[in-house]
Amino acid sequence: MTPVRLLIADDHPVVRAGLRAVLESEPGLVVVDDVADADEAVSRAAAGDVDVVLMDLQFGSGPDGFTATRRITSQQDAPRVIVLTTYDSEADIVAAVEAGAAGYLLKDAPPEELVAAVFGAAAGRSALAPAVATRLMDRMRAPMTALSGRETEVLQLVAAGLSNQQIAQRLFVSQATVKSHLVHVFTKLDVDSRTAAVAVAVDRGLIRRPRG
């Protein structure tokens, strides 16, 4: 059997070493390289000797994993990309799938789940963690209450503590537009305040939990 050739893209050396240890012990898998940033991942994936890329979402500097995934999958005969991250918000999941990711797994996934996902992706199948698949199914079942990409972005900035004025400046829109997005968010989440909107969105996995 021709081995599945892997590229690991993660900015943490310990994570890359750990993934190598797990994956290289599996018959039929070969780690051809590991890289520390998104630009390196795009360049290395284009070399033609990679079947599957394990892609982190956040790097210390430069482009993020969404951008790298989009750039990799837009190429002809591109390798398949599996996002492997700690982030499990609906916004991240949807953005990764829209960028062309064939799979989305969390870093606490059991080794056997990761290995199965790699083989599945190499064979042309999707590879979603159970919790991720559930989130996507819930979104499909209730599209009218799902937050749009811009609404999610606005609410994530609210969660980070930014005012409407700061959000408007960050997104290059008017404050009226920000308020309009928040009105839609409040309606969809059935809340009446910014604090409640953030709490509900975090609880449902719609946005990332604020750091602090």
Q: Which domains does the chain have, with CATH numbers?
A: 4-139 (3.40.50.2300), 144-203 (1.10.10.10)
Q: Which residue has the tokens 């993934």?
A: 19
d(CA 36, CA 211): 23
State the average pLDDT over residues 32-57: 95
Whole-number mean pLDDT of the chain?
88
Residue 77 near residue 46, CB atoms below 8 Å: no
Residue 108 tokens, joined: 């606490």
pLDDT tens profile 148-198: 888 888 999 999 899 999 999 999 988 888 998 898 889 888 888 999 999
Q: Return the exposure string of 77-110: e unless at least 16 CB atoms fall within 10 Å of the residue's CB, then b.
A: ebbbbbbbbebbbbbbbbbbbebbbbbbbbeebe
Q: Is residue 4's pLDDT more than 70?
A: yes
pTM score over 0.85: no
- The confidence score (pLDDT) of residue 139 equals 64
